[in-house]
Each structure stands twice: as structure tokens, then as C-alpha cells.
């Protein structure tokens, strides 16, 4: 180390040199980390639980923290974040209200378009409003740089479990919707899981952009639809591209069989969720 | 507060109650925050700068931190993260090596397909290897919950600036590639900026998934191409869907005019970058 650099370098060059050094350190660490701005006192007060009970639950603060991180990462709340029940309900209601469209291939194409337009928009809106989703993303983006190895492994396991549950859930939904609408995968090897992963990627990638450039992402598009102009969100339009790439009309479609299978699968889901 | 809850509740119920309380606190704060695991001593040592000089650059540690966060968020390094020079170069080289394909609409379609297949794959690989990109994502996902308002505003401005530079850069690239390949936007109102935003969303959304579910995202797809089987990454396949949705062959294409314009724009870029 030398002294007096600031006299030979301008202040700006000194700052740049220091910031470059700091960036190298951050990069070697694999990025930034996530912290919980939360104290045990806050949790005790919020839960209405005594300090004695709290220490019985977690003798060390670190243990509480890793359990909380796993909880934030894990499938316990995924039901309300990336996986949005309202989206599923909306899609199913569009089918229920326009059953007559299932009779022709043109009608089915129109129905697919309408479902994508409305459901992807709903899914996007739910996502960007969700602090839980943002937390999930922040944990994912920082998992590689989480300093403690045991903590990193446990949080990553929770993230993986949440992702697997989400993808599985969405894949079942896409497969069922494709069947009732008379579509099938263009590449059977793709699998509905990977369709679900790409579909979620478009919506979540745009969700991230929306946090910093809302004006660009939120401006609606007016597209010419089968019955006149339609308003599309950018997320739905991009998602529609992914869907059109990955599925195609099923030449073996039979409306009665499809409807029977669809009703049976809905009934089955109703029974399983009780 | 009451005492002795742990005797009336099982340990698991007590923990659940406390974790639920902690989740409510995190949610009210708008999510988790990002920290820099970096001390001024580390920076001094890495930069080879004295403590006196460091304090001249930033009298308070908080000021150093916010400058570093802005730097990590900002366009200074975006050149090496989401915007990947190798991707641009690869796409341009595919065009240069297959100029004869520009003569027919079938050839141009084949060229577009080949560029997407290879360039999107390169872009995806560069992204997931980048600690800078992960940091950018982590800052974006946590910006709304950054506690200090002044800091939040400054970091958000840097994120916005980086995003604007990136999108502008990519939009120019997509517009130029579309022109040389004989394509145009299906919806002129969309603009190449929004095409760039959706394209980046697919790649980045899958990049996030790759961090936790590498096996699903990295498994290649074998698709039947114009000259036999081709290996596609999931990112390229999804990106191709977005591209096919948003652009269409330009009926007014003239190969000589397109090539002249393309060569001029490359020459112009060469001059500007000097």
C-alpha cells in the first residue's frame, strides 16, 4: 500500500479504483447475499409468544433464520405466489362459458387465444403484486453466494422443492387444458413440465422488468382478434408465442371424449383437494 | 403475551406460529433485502489504497455502500452481463457464412432458425455463468424493500438506466437482424424494444430456473430441422416461439438493398465504437 494516491489521482479515479476492487470482491463471492431485516423481538411480539417459548423453539438465532429462509423459499406459500389459483379458475371459467366453441377447430383456436390472453394477464398481475414471489426470486438469485454451506444446501433444497411442486402443478393444468381444447405437444419429448418452465419464464422475466421499467412492460397492445380489436398485455402476448411454438392442433380430437375426460379430471381434483 | 404456550401446543405448532408471524413481518416489509458481505478493510486491501485515501473518497461507510450498489446495478458492467457481445458476434458470423441463404424466402427462414438456435443458446450460457447478472436480478427483486428511501431511489435509478441501455442496445440489434433476414414486426406498434424485453424475459426467466433446477432446464431437445436433427437448448426453443410470434416475412424484401443497409450499419457501428 502507498499513501497519498489521492493527490496523484483525481477523486473520481480513486473512487473508480476502489469500486472496481469492491466489484471484484463481490464477484469472487459469487454475488450479493440476502438478509432478513427481522429481530427475534419483532417475531415474539407479532406472534404473541414469550421469550422462553421462543428459545425453546430455536435455542440459537441462526437456527431460526435458516428455518425462516427455508420457509420463505419453500412450497408452503408457493400456493399463493407463482402458482395463482385465480389464473386456473379464470381459464376454467372461459372454457365453461364458451363450450360451443369446442365444436370446430376454428372455435378451439379462438378459445385457446382467449384463455391465453386473459389468464396470462391475470397471472402476471398476481405475480408483480406478490412480495412472496420477489423473495423467492431474490433467494434464487443469491443462493450460490450464501456464505454458510449448510444453510445454502438447506435453502436450495427448499427452493428446488417449491419449483418442482409449482412445475408439476402447472404441467398438469397445461396438459388438461390442451386436451380439452384439442391441442397436443408438437414435440412429445418436450413434456408439459418444460412447457410450464418456459411459460413461467416469460411471465416471471417480464415481472422482474416490470419492477424497474413499469411503463414499457405495462403498456397494453391492441391486436386484431377474430371478433375485432383486443387488448393484450405484453406478458400474454409473449406467452402466446411460447404456446404456439410448443403445441399444435390434435387431429384425433373428439369433443365428447375430451369433455368426458375433462369433467372426470375436475371431479378427481375436487375429491383430492378435500 | 402468555407464558407456557409450549406446553399447550406441540413444538411444531409453536414453530409454525412463529414462522407465520415472521412471514407476515417480511411481507409487510415488501420482501427480503440484499446485503454486501464486504468490509472497507477488504476493499482497501484489494485496491492497494490507504485508509486515509479511502476516507477521503467516502467519509461514511453508508456512502460507499450506496455507490457500490449503484455500480453493481448500473450500466457500467451491463456490457458483460445480460448483454453478451459473443451472442451478437455469433449471430453476425452465421449471417456472414451463409450469405447464399438470403436469396430465397426458404433460405432466410432457415437462417433465422439457425441464428436463434445458436445465439440464444450462447446468450443463455453466458447469463447463467455471470455473478453480475445474478446480482442485478437480486437487486431488482429486492429494490421495493430496500429500507432507506434515498438509497432505494438511487439504486432504482441505476437499475432503470442499465435496463434502458440494455433494451436499446438489443432493440437495435434485433431491428438490424430482422432487416437483413427479411423479417418485420407483425405489429408495428410493438416496437423492437418490447420484442427485446420479452426475448430477454424468456432467457432470464429460464436462467433463474437453471440455478435451482439445472437438470430440467439444461436437458437438450432434439428437433427435426431442414437438414436433419438439431440440438436445441430449452432457452433457444422458447425464444424462437417469441420471435415467431412477433415477426413475419417482409414481402418487400430485396436482398441487395438489405445487404447494403446492413453493411452500412455495421460500418457505422464500427466508427461509433472507436
Cα–Cα dist B223/A267, whole Å: 37
Task: Give the pLDDT of residue A171.
Answer: 94
Determine, for residues A11 and B57 on separate chains, whether the beta-carbon distance falls below 8 Å. yes
Q: What is the mean pLDDT of residues B262-268?
A: 88
Touching check for A197 and chain B: CB below 8 Å?
yes
Task: Give the pLDDT of residue B114.
Answer: 96
Q: What is the pLDDT of residues A193-216, one digit of tens each?
A: 999 999 999 999 999 999 998 988
Task: Give the pLDDT of residue A216.
Answer: 87
Cα–Cα dist A220/A237, whole Å: 10
Of B194, B204, B221, Cβ closest to residue A187: B221
User: Is the distance from CB of A163 to CB of A143 less than 8 angstroms?
Assistant: no
Task: Give the pLDDT of residue B67.
Answer: 92
CA distance B160 to chain A (A): 6
Touching check for B8 and chain A: CB below 8 Å?
no
Cα–Cα dist B242/B80, whole Å: 24
Low-confidence ranges of chain A (pLDDT < 50): 1-2, 4-6, 79-81
Task: Give the pLDDT of residue A9.
Answer: 56
Cα–Cα dist B135/A144, whole Å: 11
Q: Which residues of A touch B35 (CB under 8 A)?
A: 32-35
Nearest to A233 by CA among B25, B197, B116, B229: B197
Residue B150 has pLDDT above 50, yes or no: yes
Closest alpha carbon within chain B to A22: B43
Q: Which band of pLDDT confidence, cut at 50, 70 and 90, is reported for residue B206?
A: very high
Touching check for A129 and chain B: CB below 8 Å?
no
Count of beta carbons in the 10 Å neighbourhood of residue B1: 11
Residue B267 has pLDDT above 90, yes or no: no
User: Is the distance from CB of A36 to CB of A68 less than 8 angstroms?
Assistant: yes
Quick one: what percent of chain A has pLDDT higher than 70?
Answer: 93
Touching check for A165 and chain B: CB below 8 Å?
no
Which residues have a Cβ under 8 Å from the Cβ of B271 and sit 6 or more positions away?
none
Cα–Cα dist A234/A206, whole Å: 8
Which of B7, B12, B19 should one mutate to test binding to chain A, selecting the residue with the greatest count of A CBs within 10 A? B19
Q: Which residues of A touch B160 (CB under 8 A)?
A: 212-213
Cα–Cα dist B128/B205, whole Å: 11
**What DSSP string describes B190-227?**
THHHHHHHHHHHHHHHHHHHHHH-HHHHHS-EEEEETT
Of B31, B197, B209, Cβ closest to residue A138: B31
Q: What is the pLDDT of residues B41-76, one digit of tens each?
A: 999 999 999 999 899 999 999 899 999 999 988 866
Which of B41, B70, B135, B155 should one mutate to test binding to chain A, selecting the residue with the greatest count of A CBs within 10 A? B135
Domain ranges across chain B: 75-272
Closest alpha carbon within chain A to B205: A201
Closest alpha carbon within chain B to A28: B131
Q: Which residues of B touch A216 (CB under 8 A)?
A: 167, 193-194, 197
Backbone φ and ψ for A34, nearest 5 degrees, come out as: -105, 140
Half-sphere exposure of A80 (CA within 13 A, CB side): 9
Q: What is the pLDDT of residues B85-129, one digit of tens each?
A: 888 899 999 999 999 999 999 999 999 999 999 999 999 999 998
Count Cβ neighbours within 10 Å for each residue of B84-93 and write b for 16 or more, e otherwise: beebbebbbe
A222: left (phi over 0), alpha (psi -120 to 50) or beta: beta
Q: What is the mean pLDDT of residues B156-168?
A: 91
Cα–Cα dist B31/A91, whole Å: 29
Strands A228-232 and A221-225: antiparallel
Task: Give the pLDDT of residue B78.
Answer: 52
Q: List helix spans (H) across chain A.
A: 5-8, 11-28, 40-47, 51-57, 61-73, 85-97, 105-128, 131-142, 149-181, 191-212, 214-218, 234-246, 255-272
User: Is the distance from CB of B142 to CB of A136 less than 8 angstroms?
Assistant: no
Q: What is the 3-state secondary structure (H, E, C) of A119-137?
A: HHHHHHHHHHCCHHHHHHH
Task: Give the pLDDT of residue A270.
Answer: 72
Q: How far is CA B53 from CA A12, A37, B44, B65, in A?
A: 12, 32, 9, 16
Q: Which band of pLDDT confidence, cut at 50, 70 and 90, is reported for residue B79?
A: very low
Q: Which residues of B touch A56 (CB under 8 A)?
A: 6, 11, 14
Closest alpha carbon within chain A to B34: A34
ipTM for the whole complex: 0.90
Touching check for B96 and chain A: CB below 8 Å?
no
Cα–Cα dist B95/B173, whole Å: 13
Of B11, B18, B47, Cβ closest to residue A43: B18
Q: Which band of pLDDT confidence, cut at 50, 70 and 90, is reported for residue B1?
A: very low
Determine, for residues A202 and B200 on separate chains, whether the beta-carbon distance falls below 8 Å. no
Checking B150-153 for CB contacts under 8 A at 24+ apart, the result is B150/B66, B151/B62, B151/B65, B151/B66, B151/B69
Determine, for residues B204 and A208 on separate chains, whether the beta-carbon distance falls below 8 Å. yes
Q: What pairs with residue A35 in β-bridges?
A: B33
> What angle do the packed helices A131-142 and A149-181 form, to 10 degrees?
120
Alpha-carbon torsion B186, B187, B191, B193, what sign?
negative
Which of B74, B77, B205 should one mutate to test binding to chain A, selecting the residue with the greatest count of A CBs within 10 A? B205
For chain B, the average pLDDT equals 89
Touching check for B242 and chain A: CB below 8 Å?
yes
Closest alpha carbon within chain A to B218: A194
Task: Give the pLDDT of residue B81.
Answer: 47
Count of beta carbons in the 10 Å neighbourhood of residue B173: 19
Task: Give the pLDDT of residue B6.
Answer: 47
Task: Give the pLDDT of residue A148.
Answer: 87
Touching check for A206 and chain B: CB below 8 Å?
yes
Of A25, A131, A164, Cβ closest to residue B46: A25
**Which of these CATH numbers, 1.10.3470, 1.10.357, 1.10.287, 2.60.40, describes A40-272?**
1.10.357
User: Is the distance from CB of A258 to CB of A179 less than 8 angstroms?
Assistant: yes
Task: Give the pLDDT of residue A101.
Answer: 96
Amino acid at each position: 500500500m502507498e499513501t497519498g494516491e489521492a493527490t496523484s489521482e483525481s477523486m473520481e479515479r480513486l473512487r473508480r479504483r476502489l469500486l472496481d476492487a469492491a466489484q471484484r470482491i463481490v464477484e469472487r463471492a459469487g454475488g450479493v447475499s440476502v438478509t432478513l431485516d427481522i429481530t427475534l423481538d419483532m417475531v415474539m411480539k407479532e406472534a404473541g409468544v414469550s421469550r422462553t417459548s421462543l428459545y425453546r423453539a430455536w435455542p440459537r438465532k441462526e437456527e431460526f433464520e435458516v428455518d425462516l429462509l427455508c420457509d420463505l423459499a419453500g412450497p408452503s406459500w408457493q400456493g399463493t405466489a407463482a402458482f395463482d389459483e385465480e389464473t386456473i379458475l379464470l381459464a376454467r371459467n372461459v372454457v365453461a362459458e364458451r363450450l360451443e366453441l369446442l365444436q370446430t377447430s376454428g372455435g378451439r383456436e379462438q378459445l385457446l387465444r382467449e384463455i391465453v390472453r386473459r389468464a396470462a394477464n391475470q397471472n402476471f398481475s398476481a405475480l408483480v403484486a406478490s412480495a412472496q414471489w420477489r423473495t423467492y426470486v431474490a433467494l434464487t438469485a443469491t443462493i450460490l453466494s450464501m456464505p454458510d454451506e449448510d444453510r445454502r444446501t438447506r435453502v436450495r433444497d427448499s427452493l428446488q422443492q417449491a419449483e418442482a411442486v409449482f412445475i408439476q402443478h402447472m404441467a398438469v393444468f397445461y396438459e388438461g387444458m390442451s386436451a380439452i381444447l384439442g391441442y397436443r405437444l408438437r414435440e412429445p419429448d418436450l413434456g408439459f413440465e418444460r412447457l410450464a418452465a418456459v411459460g413461467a419464464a416469460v411471465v416471471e422475466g417480464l415481472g422482474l422488468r416490470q419492477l424497474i421499467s413499469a411503463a414499457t412492460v405495462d403498456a397494453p397492445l391492441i391486436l386484431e382478434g377474430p371478433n375485432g380489436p383486443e387488448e393484450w398485455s405484453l406478458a400474454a402476448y409473449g406467452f402466446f408465442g411460447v404456446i404456439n411454438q410448443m403445441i399444435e392442433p390434435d387431429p384425433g380430437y373428439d369433443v365428447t371424449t375430451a369433455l368426458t375426460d375433462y369433467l372426470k379430471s375436475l371431479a378427481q381434483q375436487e375429491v383430492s383437494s378435500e
